[in-house]
Chains A and B, each alone.
Chain A
Amino acid sequence: MNNDPREANRHPAHSDKQDKKPLDATLLDEQLVAYLDGELDAESGRRIEALLASDPEVRGRLQSLERTWDLLDELDAAPVGEPFTHTTLEMVAVAAREEVEQERAVAPRRRRRRRLAILGAILAAAVLGFLSIALLTPDPNRQLLVDLPVLVNLDEYRQVASVEFLRLLRKEKLFDAEATGTADAGLMAVDGPTAARRHRIESMSPEQKDELRRAAARFAVLGPADQQRLRQLDARVRSGDDSPKLQAVMHRYCDWLKSLPLYSRSELAELGPEARVKWVKRRLSFEDQAREGGGRLGGRDTETLGKWMNDCVERHEAAFLKTLPEPQRKRLSEFSDSAMRHRLVAGQMWLSWQRAHADEPGKMPPWVSENDLRRLRSQLSPQARKRLESRPTAQEQWNLVLAWMRHAMRPAASHAHGPLNPDDERLAAFFEKLPDEERNRLLSLPGEEMQRQLLRLYLTRIHAPGPPMQRGGGFDRPKRPGDDRAPKPSDKAGKASRS
């Protein structure tokens, strides 16, 4: 939008004969904002609408204001728990008592009695309110028995989220296999009357009881609606004719999920059934491809690949930068530290390669040419070159190079910082190292949200510092001050589990 009032005055609405008053750009903005807020009268609204219909620039202005406003929805809303309500009511009750005390000192006896009666009523009501909530809360043991089938499969139910998803997996023949006794054992063993369930719990090992207790705690922090949804899911999974097969698919699917990075699991859980099945299919196909032709390169070839990537970044940096939005390009140009800028550009370029691949597998970005691939081929060892040349087209070769690069990144990331797929123990260790304030904030969140935010913190703190490659080639980088934040003792475990 042009800020020049003279420009603004050229708009038809501004030259409206009914309104001789110049409408400058600021006033126009005010009118646009008021229009968005539904604060214009009918006449002004019509004038703005006419202006919007005739002037694409003003339309763009309005859209940009509206979209910015919509972005405020990103601001998180922190939930407030019952303890806070309790404290607030107690505080007010104390204030009420003080008020009455003061009144008592000056007021006649009759009035004092009335005040005291009111105070009594306030306190009694508050206490009664909380007592009634407490009394209405079901006996934990009874509830545990009722929810036992949900609790023993809690994590799996939360992952699959709907019976429709399981049926879609079956329909697509994903994770399909004949239901086995083992697969069904978990559910069947906890089904049946309450007495049988009680007996089942009593016969559990201490570890199993601990696990059940933890599941009950996780279940308890879910909202009533989520709890009810899981109970319904459990009922539907166990009641259909296809129940044994659905259960088998669920167990296999959840076993497979364990092989995914936590963030992928977390992201998957947010998708609807059909989108999730689609994602799973792509992932499985990707894994198949990797098994068939991808794989890792040897140490020397990995180093060659790293140098080649750096070379690509330097060679195509200018062309790549032209594709970035102006503000981003400007910010990058403001970095005086050329090594830092190089890392940032490299990171962004690597991201764009992956995105181009996601759009269309094998699609080569415009700033990587067949010459680049030829150069890489000439630098690789004969074995690696042979593997690359076995792919007939440049697209397929590029696919393989991308797969190599992903594999090459993996050890660098996990050696330097820790795995991208942290287990509970590693997350717990990370949590313990957080500052008190941050830990308290996390602890105040509902279980699932806490887990999600903790994982985000882990990924951003532990992994954010690492560039994909360094100037000069190779994937290793010198130790930097921030590295000490990674949980070192378990790094060895991370390496071992990947080797």
Chain B
Amino acid sequence: MLQVRDDNAVAFEELVARYQGRLVNLLRHQVGGRELAEDLTQEVFLRVYRSRKSYTPGAKFATWLFTIAHHVASNALRDRSRRHEVTLRPHDSGPLGARPLDKMLQASSGQMPARLLDKVEMREMVRMAMEALGQRQRMAVLLSKFEGLSYAEIAEIMEISPQAIKSLLCRARENLREVLQPYFDNGNVILSDAKDVSDREVPDDE
């Protein structure tokens, strides 16, 4: 980042290549919708470029970058809420639709390979559970789970105390557990079947 600050274009390109995927995914889960996430990611890089001179050498770059991303995502969500915009997230019309259990059970009626559907269903459940979290809980979860940041770093990014992050993450994990537990109990059996498919699965008849 210091090279970027000193107007090194190659360093900036490398920085974009290194962080773009992580940012797109973080923002996609935070705001919903791939296109918006990509727009916001570009906005983040633009802000990084514009504020490169304010970067201080002691600061960890990822923390600085995700602080910008957090602001950008919060602004986007606030703007959307001001417009009272109700966007249908792309996954709302995903493979399992609005009533996943219904679909799952119907689909497991011998016309679907159970293992395939279980994975799809589980992914939908996890996505829905994440979407059901509050904005701040979701951001804390994403930073902790996928960026591996410490409580102190997440606290710095979200501008609250580490103790508040501890509570936030605890509530988030509890919320996730509550939503996913029923599927988890069931899914655990199914998925453990799937792991050992060679021993257990009778080849599906057409």
List residues of chain B with CB within 8 A of the CB of A340: 102
Chain A nearest CB: distance from B30 CB in Å? 12
Alpha-carbon gap, A354 to B200, bound state (A): 10
Closest residue of chain A to B123 (Cβ to Cβ) is A74
> When the two chains form their complex, are residues B13 and A89 in contact, meaning their CB atoms are under 8 A apart?
yes
Closest residue of chain B to A358 (Cβ to Cβ) is B202
> When the two chains form their complex, are residues B38 and A84 in contact, meaning their CB atoms are under 8 A apart?
yes
> When the two chains form their complex, are residues A460 and B96 in contact, meaning their CB atoms are under 8 A apart?
yes
Asked whether A85 and B9 contact (CB < 8 A) given A77-B21, A343-B106, A466-B106, the answer is no
Interface residue A282 (Cβ < 8 Å from any Cβ of B): yes
List residues of chain A with CB within 8 A of the CB of B120: 456, 460
Chain A nearest CB: distance from B190 CB in Å? 9
Alpha-carbon gap, A387 to B192, bound state (A): 37
List residues of chain A with CB within 8 A of the CB of B157: none
> When the two chains form their complex, are residues A69 and B110 in contact, meaning their CB atoms are under 8 A apart?
no
Interface residues of A in 333-366 (CB under 8 A from B): 340, 343-344, 346-348, 350-351, 354-355, 357-359, 361
Count of A-B contacts with CB under 8 A?
Answer: 249
> When the two chains form their complex, are residues B108 and A351 in contact, meaning their CB atoms are under 8 A apart?
yes
Interface residues of B in 62-118 (CB under 8 A from A): 90, 93, 95-96, 101-103, 105-117
Chain A nearest CB: distance from B90 CB in Å? 6
Chain A nearest CB: distance from B147 CB in Å? 12
> When the two chains form their complex, are residues A361 and B9 in contact, meaning their CB atoms are under 8 A apart?
no
Decide if the interface of chain A is mainly helix, strand, loop or mixed: helix
Interface residue B61 (Cβ < 8 Å from any Cβ of A): no
Alpha-carbon gap, A332 to B105, bound state (A): 10
Pick the contact of A286: B10, B102, B203 (CB < 8 A).
B203
> When the two chains form their complex, are residues B184 and A358 in contact, meaning their CB atoms are under 8 A apart?
no
Interface residue A144 (Cβ < 8 Å from any Cβ of B): no
Pick the contact of A355: B145, B186, B193 (CB < 8 A).
B193
Find the residue from B50, B110, B181 having the highest chain A CB count within 10 A. Answer: B110
List residues of chain B with CB within 8 A of the CB of A354: 110, 114, 202
Asked whether A67 and B108 contact (CB < 8 A) given A129-B10, A271-B197, the answer is no
Q: How large is the interface on A (under 10, 10 to 19, 20 to 34, 35 or more residues)?
A: 35 or more
Alpha-carbon gap, A417 to B110, bound state (A): 14
Pick the contact of A421: B21, B173, B203, B206 (CB < 8 A).
B206
> When the two chains form their complex, are residues B111 and A468 in contact, meaning their CB atoms are under 8 A apart?
yes
Interface residue A47 (Cβ < 8 Å from any Cβ of B): no
> When the two chains form their complex, are residues A271 and B173 in contact, meaning their CB atoms are under 8 A apart?
no
> When the two chains form their complex, are residues A75 and B130 in contact, meaning their CB atoms are under 8 A apart?
yes
> When the two chains form their complex, are residues B182 and A327 in contact, meaning their CB atoms are under 8 A apart?
yes
> When the two chains form their complex, are residues A406 and B205 in contact, meaning their CB atoms are under 8 A apart?
yes
Contact with A along B140-160 (1 / 0, CB 8 A): 010011000011000000000
Closest residue of chain B to A117 (Cβ to Cβ) is B7
List residues of chain A with CB within 8 A of the CB of B144: 37
> When the two chains form their complex, are residues B112 and A459 in contact, meaning their CB atoms are under 8 A apart?
yes
> When the two chains form their complex, are residues B109 and A39 in contact, meaning their CB atoms are under 8 A apart?
no
Pick the contact of A29: B108, B170, B200 (CB < 8 A).
B170
> When the two chains form their complex, are residues B25 and A118 in contact, meaning their CB atoms are under 8 A apart?
no
Pick the contact of A33: B28, B93, B166, B181 (CB < 8 A).
B166
List residues of chain A with CB within 8 A of the CB of B199: 278
Alpha-carbon gap, A358 to B107, bound state (A): 19
Alpha-carbon gap, A468 to B108, bound state (A): 9
List residues of chain B with CB within 8 A of the CB of A357: 202
List residues of chain A with CB within 8 A of the CB of B113: 261, 263-264, 267, 459
Pick the contact of A358: B45, B119, B130, B200 (CB < 8 A).
B200
Identify 17 new A-B residue pairs, CB closer than 8 A, beyond the known A72-B126, A282-B203. Answer: A33-B170, A39-B166, A65-B174, A77-B21, A80-B38, A85-B13, A91-B45, A122-B9, A126-B9, A279-B203, A286-B203, A327-B182, A441-B34, A456-B116, A457-B95, A464-B106, A468-B111
Chosen A-B contacts, 26 in total, with CB atoms closer than 8 Å, are: A29-B170, A68-B173, A68-B181, A68-B184, A72-B130, A72-B145, A77-B21, A80-B21, A92-B45, A92-B46, A124-B9, A274-B198, A282-B201, A325-B185, A325-B186, A327-B185, A350-B108, A351-B110, A354-B202, A419-B206, A438-B90, A461-B95, A463-B111, A463-B112, A464-B107, A468-B110
